[in-house]
Amino acid sequence: MTNVSVTIAGIRISFLTNHPTDRKCLEEILLYHFDRNEVSPRHDVVVMSAKEKFCFSENMPLIWIGVINQNVPIRWYNSTDQEENIITIANDIFIKHFPKRKLTLCYLTETKSRFFKSHRPLLTNYIFFLLHSILSMYGKYCLHASCASQNGQSYLFLGNSGEGKTTMSTILGKAGFEYMGDDLVFISQNENGEVVIDAFLSKIKLLNAKLNTKDAIDVIKKNNFKYAYRNKLGAIIKLQRTYANKESVLIPASESESFAWLMNSGNNIKIQYHQQHWMNICEKASLLPSYTLEFADKEHFNPDILKTILKNEF
């Protein structure tokens, strides 16, 4: 089996797989998380093919049922002794988490066509859920957000799809800020109790108007961006598109608003470990400066508007 290791949010995840496409997928998606010389807790993930449909005891308590990737059914079960958790995705992916052993087993149902070609689910079908659930074991929680940092402070941008998260992180990267991701980041507390943001650096998907498709672009390499893996959280900003005028406007937000934004931005919070710890982190983060940014014409956006938020820090 091939061993592929990546470090995300301070956790070293080692994938052991016997399928050549898995390594290619990991290299494509997690390029900037390879080969980092960082002393980190280690979690092992073993990916293997299953020749038959999986089955397990019907007595296991069903904890949550829902969907991922918009329409793919998922079920989460706990064993009666709490030593393992079992997740099924559609009818062909079977995941076993062993938190105390720092181990995850992934069984992928493999089928063969009439031409004897072997098929099994691609890693891209479940990699983000897998990372999300594993890292939550270690108190690292996934947010649907973009992030940029400057002078050791990170700006966390929240908002629905289409509100400008990718656009904002790209604008700030070109303005000299450190790029920390355009769609997913991880929030946690460090050893000093400070709320920190860990980057998730991957290619972004941009619309190709000519082909009406989304192309994967390495914006870091393309624009020679500076980037950072971790920084202290300095401010929370909810993006809100507006076309009323060209000037963008910052509107102070309350702690309760900020807390609600964070909770709503948590990806699949029902499928994560230590939910109370997650809520405590969100509560502490909501005490930081928080704003709604009415984001207008990107051509006229002045990044200096953000410096006023943390002017006492610079």
Task: List the CATH number of the domain containing 185.
Answer: 3.40.50
Question: Are 172 and 202 in a shared domain?
Answer: yes
pLDDT in tens, 105-114: 999 888 766 6
Question: Are 122 and 201 in a shared domain?
Answer: no
Task: State mean pLDDT over 46-62.
Answer: 75
Q: Is residue 164 part of a domain?
A: yes
End position of a domain, from candidates 101, 136, 171? 136
Question: Are 31 and 126 in a shared domain?
Answer: yes
Of 286 and 49, the structure prediction assigns the larger pLDDT to 286
Question: Are 228 and 131 in a shared domain?
Answer: no
Q: Is residue 44 part of a domain?
A: yes
**Does the pLDDT at position 208 exceed 70?**
no
Question: Are 114 and 173 in a shared domain?
Answer: no
Q: Is residue 313 part of a domain?
A: no
Task: State mean pLDDT over 124-146.
Answer: 92
Residue 215 pLDDT grade (very low, low, confident, very high; cuts 50, 70, 90): low
End position of a domain, from candidates 98, 120, 136? 136
| pLDDT on residue 150 | 92
| pLDDT on residue 144 | 93
Please tell me the total count of domains within the chain. Answer: 2
Lowest pLDDT segment from 18-22, 152-156, 262-266:
18-22
| pLDDT on residue 277 | 95
Q: At which residue do the structure tokens 């930081």 appear? A: 288
Question: Are 237 and 288 in a shared domain?
Answer: yes
Report percent pLDDT > 70 for the chain.
Answer: 89
pLDDT in tens, 252-265: 999 999 999 999 99
What's the mean per-residue pLDDT of the chain?
A: 86
Can you list the pairs that 217-220 forms with residues at least 24 positions away whose Cβ atoms lie under 8 Å? 218/31, 219/170, 219/173, 219/179, 219/182, 220/32, 220/173, 220/179
Contact (Cβ atoms closer than 8 angstroms) between residue 200 and residue 184? yes
**Does the pLDDT at position 165 exceed 80?**
yes
| pLDDT on residue 205 | 61
Task: State mean pLDDT over 101-105.
Answer: 95
| pLDDT on residue 152 | 92
Task: State mean pLDDT over 210-227.
Answer: 79
DSSP percent split of the chain into helix, strand, coil, nearest 5? 25, 40, 35
Q: Is residue 145 part of a domain?
A: yes
Question: Are 108 and 169 in a shared domain?
Answer: no
Task: State mean pLDDT over 137-148.
Answer: 95
Most confidently predicted of 9-18, 73-82, 207-216? 9-18
Question: Are 8 and 75 in a shared domain?
Answer: yes
**Does the pLDDT at position 178 exceed 90?**
yes
**Does the pLDDT at position 143 exceed 80?**
yes
Q: What's the CA gap between 26 and 153, in Å, rounded?
A: 29
Task: State mean pLDDT over 58-81.
Answer: 82
| pLDDT on residue 213 | 55
Question: Are 98 and 152 in a shared domain?
Answer: no
Continuous H helices in 157-254: 165-174, 219-223
DSSP string, 18-61: S-HHHHHHHHHHSGGGBS------EEEEEEEEESS-----TTSP
Contact (Cβ atoms closer than 8 angstroms) between residue 262 and residue 195? no
| pLDDT on residue 113 | 63
| pLDDT on residue 314 | 36
Residue 204: which domain range? 141-307
Question: Are 174 and 210 in a shared domain?
Answer: yes
Lowest pLDDT segment from 8-22, 63-77, 280-294:
63-77
Q: What's the CA gap between 165 and 209, in Å, rounded?
A: 19
Task: State mean pLDDT over 298-314.
Answer: 73
Which residues touch 234 (CB under 8 Å, ≥6 apart)? 149, 153, 154, 155, 288, 289, 309, 310, 313
**Does the pLDDT at position 235 exceed 90?**
yes
Task: State mean pLDDT over 32-53.
Answer: 83
Question: Are 98 and 34 in a shared domain?
Answer: yes
Continuous H helices in the chain: 20-29, 127-136, 165-174, 219-223, 255-265, 275-285, 304-307
| pLDDT on residue 118 | 67
End position of a domain, from candidates 92, 111, 136? 136
Task: State mean pLDDT over 95-116.
Answer: 84
From the list 16, 19, 25, the residue with the least C-alpha distance to 44 is 16
Q: At which residue do the structure tokens 């918009």 appear? A: 70
Q: Is the pTM of this model over 0.85?
A: yes
Question: Are 155 and 284 in a shared domain?
Answer: yes
Using the 8-state DSSP alphabet, how is residue 177 labeled? P
